[in-house]
Structure 1
Amino acid sequence: MTEFLSALGHQPFLQTALLAGLLASIGTGVVGSLVVVKRITFLAGGIAHSVLGGIGAALYFGLDPLLGALAAAVLSALLIGWVRLAWQAQEDTLIGALWAIGMAVGVLFVAKTPGYAGDLMTYLFGNILLVPQRELWLMGALDALLLIVIGLYYRQLLAVCFDEELARLRGVNVTFYYLLLLVLVAVTVVLLIQVVGLILVIALLTLPAAIAGHYVKSVGRMMAVATAIGALLTSLGLALSYEPDLPVGPTIILLAGFVYLASAIASRLIARRRTRATLHPDPADGESP
C-alpha cells in the first residue's frame, strides 16, 4: 500500500486509472441501484456480453472500440427490452441467444481484423491501467448523461422499477421508461468495461448496490452509498493489486465479492438479533431506574 501511494504521486498512468475507477463508480452506484431494485441482472448481463460484437466491428473498421461498444450496448438494450416485453414466455432463452451471438460476432470480427495484434483479454477482463486520458472525457460525459437523465425522470424510473402495473394505471409510459432504463444500463456497461471488462462487469454493476441495500431502504440513499462503496472498492483494488502486480479487474471483483459476503452475513445476524429482541424482550429493559 505504501509503495502504491508513493507511486501515485509521480505516475500519471496510476492517476488516470484511479480517476477512471472513480468515474465508473458513479454509474455503478446510480444505475446499479436501479438494476438491483428492478432485479434485471440477467438482462444487464445480456447487454454486457453483446457489447463484444460492437467492439469487434469497431476494430475491424478502424473505429474507436468504445464508440462501437456504446452503439452495440444501446442496440442490444433496445432489442433485449423488446424481447422481454413481447416474448416473455421465452425471455430467458432469447436473451441467452442474443448474449451468445453478440460474443461470437465480436470474436469473429477480432479474429479477422487485418493486422490486429491486440489482446482480446483486455476487453474481456479489462485493464484500468491502460485507460488513455482522452477516454476519461468520454467517461465523464457518459456519467453526466446518466445523472441528467435520472434526475429528470427519477420518479418515473422508480415507478417502473417497483410496480409496472401500478405505474401504468397512473399514466406512466411503462414501455418507454423501461427501455430508457435498459439504455442507461447499456451506457453504464460501457463505463465499466474499461475497469473490469465484459466478463466481470455485472459483478461491479450490482455488488456495491447490493451491499448498500443491506443498510439503507431509500433508493436515493442507496445510490449515494453504492457510489461511495464502488469508489472505495475500485481504489482499494487498484492499490492492493499494484505491488504484487496482479490483474486489477479480478482483484476489484474479488474484493467486492468478499465485502458483499461479509455484509450479507453481518446484516443477517443483525436482523436475527433484532427479531429475537422483539419476540423475547429483556425484562430488565422495562424496569424503571
Structure 2
Amino acid sequence: MIDTLLMPFQFGFMQNAFLISAIVAIPTALLSCFLVLKGWALMGDAISHAILPGVVLAYILGLPLILGAFAAGMVTALSTGYLAQNSRVKQDTVMGVVFSGMFGLGIVLFVATPSEVHLDHILYGNMLGVGSQDLWTAGSIALVVSAALLLKWKDLMLHAFDPAQARASGLPVGLLHYGLLTAISLTIVATLTATGLILAVGLLIAPGAIAFLLTRRFGRMLGLAVVICLTSMLGGTYLSFWLDSAPAPTIILLLTAIFLIALPYKTYRVKRAAVTD
C-alpha cells in the first residue's frame, strides 16, 4: 500500500512537477492576499492574458520566451496604471480594454507565425514537462518576489487599505504601486511553465480569497494563504497522477472546492457569533 501511494514520487517528471508547485505556491499566495485586499483581482487576470504577444514576439526574434513575457507584462501593468491615474476612465474598464487588446494581438501574431510551439502549453502550462532551467528561473523569481513582499508587507497593507493615509505617512505610494505591478508580472512569468497564462489567475486570487474568509488579521492571512496554496498545489499534482488529468486544472479545481467549503463555514461562524452576542 505504501509503495503504491509513493509511486508518483518515483518518476522524474512528477518530482519536477512537485518542485515547481512548491516554488510558485509561495509568491502567488502572498500576492493573492494583496490583490484581494486591494480589489485587483482583474489586474492579475489582465496581465496573465496580456503577456501572450510578448511570448510570440520573443519566439519570432529568437529570444527567451520568459523575457518577452516579462516585457509584455510590464507594458500592460504600467500602461494600465498610467491610464487609470491620468484619465476619467475607471481602472477596471482600462484593464478590460488593455487586456482584451493585448490578448487579441497575441492570438493574431501566433496564428500568423508558423511555429512548433503548441499554444496549449502557453495557455494551460506543461507541469509534466518542466526542466531544470524552468526550476531555476521560477525559483529565482519566487525568492526575489517573496522576500520583497515579506519585507514590505506592512507598507503594502497600508497602501492597499488606505492610499491617502499611506501618502500622508510619508510612504512612497508610487513606488509601492508600481512595485506591486512588477511583482505580479514577475510571478506570472514564474508560473508560465507550471500553470500557463489562463490558470495563473486562479493562483493569484483563490488562496487570498480563502484566507480572507477564515481570518481577520492580515499577518495570519498571509501565512494561511501560503499553507492553502502549497497544500492545493502539491495535492492537486498528486491527484492528477491518479486521475490521469492535467495537474494545473486539477489544482484550480481543488482550490475552488476549498473556497466552496470555506464560504459556508464562514457564514455559519458569523451567524453563530451573532446568536451568541
The TM-score bracket by the shorter chain reads over 0.9
Shift of 1:265: 0.8
Are residues 1:64 and 2:64 paired? yes
CA contact (8 A) 1:34 1:161 kept: yes
Question: CA shift at 1:6, angstroms?
Answer: 3.3
Q: Aligned letter for 1:171?
A: G
Task: Encode CA deviations 1:203-234: one digit per residue, 9 max, x unaligned.
Answer: 22111111112222222221111111111111
Structure 2 gap ranges (5+): none
Aligned 8 A contact 2:126 2:196 in 1: yes
Q: What does 1:1-289 correspond to in 2, within 5 Å?
A: 5-114=5-114, 116-278=115-277
Report the CA distance between 1:5 and its aligned residue.
4.1
Indicate how the Cα distance of structure 1 residues 92 and 173 shifts in structure 2: closer, same or farther if over 3 A, else same.
same
Distance across 2 between alignment mates of 1:2 and 1:57:
48
Separation in 2, partners of 1:62, 1:109: 15
Change (3 A) 1:27 1:186: same
Q: Distance in 2 between matches of 1:192 and 1:5?
A: 27
Find the aligned partners of 1:32 and 1:4 in 2 and give their Cα distance: 35
Letter in 1 for 2:233: T
Name which of structure 1's ranges 245-254 and 91-100 shifts more when overlaid on structure 2.
91-100
Cα contact 2:55–2:66 (8 A) shared by 1: yes
What is the deviation of 1:94?
A: 2.5
Aligned residue for 1:35, secondary structure, equals helix
What is the rounded CA distance, in whole Å, between the counterparts of 1:257 and 1:166 in structure 2?
34
Letter of the structure 1 residue corresponding to residue 44 of structure 2 = A
Q: 1:2, 1:108 → 2: CA distance?
A: 50
Contact 2:8 2:238 in 1 (8 A): no
Cα distance in 2, alignment partners of residues 222 and 90 from structure 1:
28
- What do you get for the CA RMSD once the two structures are aligned? 1.9
| 1:247 positional shift | 1.7
State the alpha-carbon separation in 2 of the partners of residues 97 and 3 from structure 1.
52
Deviation at 1:9, TM superposition (A): 3.3
Q: SS of the residue aligned with 2:245? A: coil
Question: Cα offset for 1:90?
Answer: 4.0
| One-letter identity of the residue aligned with 1:128 | M
The residue identity in structure 2 corresponding to 1:67 is: L
The structure number with the bigger radius of gyration is 1
SS in structure 2 of the partner of residue 209 of structure 1: helix
On the 8 A contact 1:4/1:243 being kept in 2, the answer is no
Q: CA offsets, 1:44-88, max 9 Å, x none?
A: 211111111111111122222122112211222111111222225
Change (3 A) 1:275 1:88: farther
- Counterparts of 2:149 and 2:141, CA distance in 1: 12
Does structure 2 retain, via aligned residues, the 8 Å contact 1:45–1:202? yes
Task: Output the CA distance in 2 between the equivalents of 1:57 and 1:220.
Answer: 40
Q: Which amino acid aligns with 2:168?
A: L
Instruction: Give, in whole Å, the separation in 1 of the partners of 2:110 and 2:89.
Output: 34
Residues of 1 paired with 2:9 and 2:191: CA distance?
25
Letter in 1 for 2:35: V
Q: 3-state DSSP class of the match of 1:246?
A: coil
Any idea what SS the aligned residue of 1:117 has? coil
Q: CA deviation at 1:264?
A: 0.7
Give the partner amino acid of 2:271.
R
Q: Is the 8 A contact 1:38 1:161 kept in 2?
A: yes
Amino acid at match of 2:189: V
Whether the aligned pair in 2 keeps the contact of 1:233 and 1:252 (CA below 8 Å) is yes
Structure 2 CA distance for aligned equivalents of residues 88 and 161 of structure 1: 21
